[in-house]
Amino acid sequence: MKADPAGVLTGSHYLDGDFACGEGAMAAGCRFVAGYPITPSTEVVERISRRFPTLGGTFIQMEDELASMAAVVGAAWTGSKTMTVTSGPGFSLMMENIGLAAMMETPCVVVNVQRGGPSTGLPTMVGQGDVMQARWGSHGDYEVIALSPQSPQEAFDLTIDAFNLAEIYRVPVMFLMDECVGHMTEKVVIPEAEAIEIEPRRLTEKSPESFDPYQVEEGQLPEFARAGDGYRFHTTGLTHDEHGYPEMSVECQEVNVSRLVGKIRDNADSIVRFEEEGVEDADVVVVSYGITARVARLAVEEARSQGLKVGFLRLVVIWPFPEKRIRELAGSVGAFVVPEINYGQIALEVERAAAGQAVTWPVHHAGGAVHSPDAITEIIIKAAV
Partner 1 sequence: MTVSTNPTVGQEMEHPSAPLLRMERIPHVWCPSCGIGTVVKCYATALERSGVDLDKVSVVSGIGCSGRVAGYLKLDGFHTTHGRAIPFATGLKLGRPELLVTVISGDGDLVGIGGNHFIHAARRNLDLLVILINNFIYGMTGGQNAPTTPLGAKSSTMPFGNFETPFNLPHLAASSGASYVARWTCLHIRRLTWSIEEAIGKRGFRFIEAVAPCPTLYARLNKLGSGLDAMRFYHDTAEIRNGADTREVDVSFQSPIICGKFVDEERPTFLDLMHDHYSNRLGDGYVPMPPEGGMLHER
Which parts of this chain interact with partner 1 (CB under 8 A)? 1, 4, 6, 29, 31-32, 34, 53-58, 60, 62-64, 66-68, 70-82, 96-97, 99-100, 198, 200-203, 205, 226-238, 245-246
Q: How far is the CB of 268 from partner 1 (least distance, A)?
A: 26
Indicate the DSSP class of residue 276.
Answer: E
Sign of CA dihedral 324, 165, 150, 291: negative
CA angle 162-168-172, nearest 5°? 50
Nearer to partner 1, 205 or 218 (CB): 205
Nearer to partner 1, 3 or 317 (CB): 3
Q: Could you give the C-alpha distances from 191 to 151, 153, 156, 385, in angstroms and in order?
A: 17, 11, 11, 46
Residue pair 131/176 in contact by the 8 Å Cβ criterion:
yes
List all residues 6 or more positions away from 335 whose beta carbon is below 8 Å from its beta carbon: 283, 284, 285, 358, 359, 360, 361, 383, 384
What distance in Å separates the CA atoms of residue 62 and residue 65, rounded to the nearest whole number? 7
What distance in Å separates the CA atoms of residue 108 and residue 67, rounded to the nearest whole number? 15
Residue pair 327/354 in contact by the 8 Å Cβ criterion:
yes
Nearer to partner 1, 188 or 198 (CB): 198
Nearer to partner 1, 187 or 234 (CB): 234
Nearer to partner 1, 74 or 368 (CB): 74
Strands 284-288 and 58-61: unpaired
Q: How far is the CB of 249 from partner 1 (least distance, A)?
A: 15
Q: How far is the CB of 306 from partner 1 (least distance, A)?
A: 52
Q: How far is the CB of 96 from partner 1 (least distance, A)?
A: 6
Q: How far is the CB of 227 from partner 1 (least distance, A)?
A: 4
Q: How far is the CB of 239 from partner 1 (least distance, A)?
A: 12
Nearer to partner 1, 132 or 193 (CB): 193
Q: How far is the CB of 95 from partner 1 (least distance, A)?
A: 11
- What is the DSSP secondary-structure string of 97-152? HHHHHHHHT--EEEEEEEEE-STT-EEEEE--TTHHHHHH-SSSS---EEE--SSH
Q: How far is the CB of 304 from partner 1 (least distance, A)?
A: 46
Residue pair 46/96 in contact by the 8 Å Cβ criterion:
no
What distance in Å separates the CA atoms of residue 23 and residue 105, rounded to the nearest whole number? 25
What distance in Å separates the CA atoms of residue 85 and residue 33, rounded to the nearest whole number? 8
Q: How far is the CB of 207 from partner 1 (least distance, A)?
A: 13
Whether the ω angle into residue 5 lies within 30 degrees of 0, i.e. cis, is no
Nearer to partner 1, 69 or 347 (CB): 69
What distance in Å separates the CA atoms of residue 293 and residue 307, rounded to the nearest whole number? 21
Nearer to partner 1, 136 or 245 (CB): 245
Q: How far is the CB of 223 from partner 1 (least distance, A)?
A: 11
Nearer to partner 1, 58 or 258 (CB): 58
How far the first Cα of the chain sits from its last, in Å, is 52
Nearer to partner 1, 44 or 72 (CB): 72
